[in-house]
Amino acid sequence: MRERTPTWTTAAPWIAAAIAVAVLVVDQLTKFLAEASLSTGERIEVLGDLLGLQLAYNPGAAFSIGEGATWIFTILAGVGVVVAAWFAWRTRSRVWAVCLGLLLGGATTHFLDRLLREPSFGQGHVVDFIAYANWFIGNVADIALFAGAVMLVVLMALGIDSRPHADAHADEDDALGDPVVK
């Protein structure tokens, strides 16, 4: 029986952290640019009615649900950051690191928006600027959260372990996990 030695296993949490930081930086930078160049409510068409740029401030969740309960979303985002960080620190799988990094980055940037943006501490509004048809307006963090959530569902459905063991699947490579090193 061959010994399975996962590669990059100890690097996985750092991969998750790097992705989270990248999401945070890109999201905050694009929000800064949107606020500097767009007027609230003004829509600039990018792909006709399908995709556009439109500055909006969202006190609620997706589709502006719960606009009067911003502090609840602040707490939920904070819990999301803690949970994603805990799992990201424990993962030893590169594919799980990508998934958790996307979730951690998106949750962190939304949490910071809720804490630090107007109108007040803990009740800040999230800056949205990517208009999808006339359906909703989002931001880069929303894209990261959606991609991370889809990855999470797929990884769980496929049974990919976030902490692969050296003796698991000794005779085969995990297509999405860490390959056998000979």
Work out the number of other CB atoms within 10 angstroms of the CB of residue 103: 28
**Catalytic site residue 174?**
no
Q: Tell me if residue 40 falls in helix, strand or coil.
A: strand
Give the containing element (helix H, strand E) for 126: strand 126-132
**Catalytic one among 128, 161, 167, 171?**
128
**Catalytic one among 113, 142, 174, 178?**
142
Q: Which one, of 182, 163, 177, lies nearest residue 1 by Cα?
A: 182
Quickly list H helices, 8-162.
Answer: 12-37, 70-90, 94-116, 140-158
Cα separation, 124 vs 146, whole angstroms: 21
Asked if 124 contacts 136 with a C-beta cutoff of 8 angstroms, the reply is: no
Q: Which residues are catalytic?
A: 128, 142
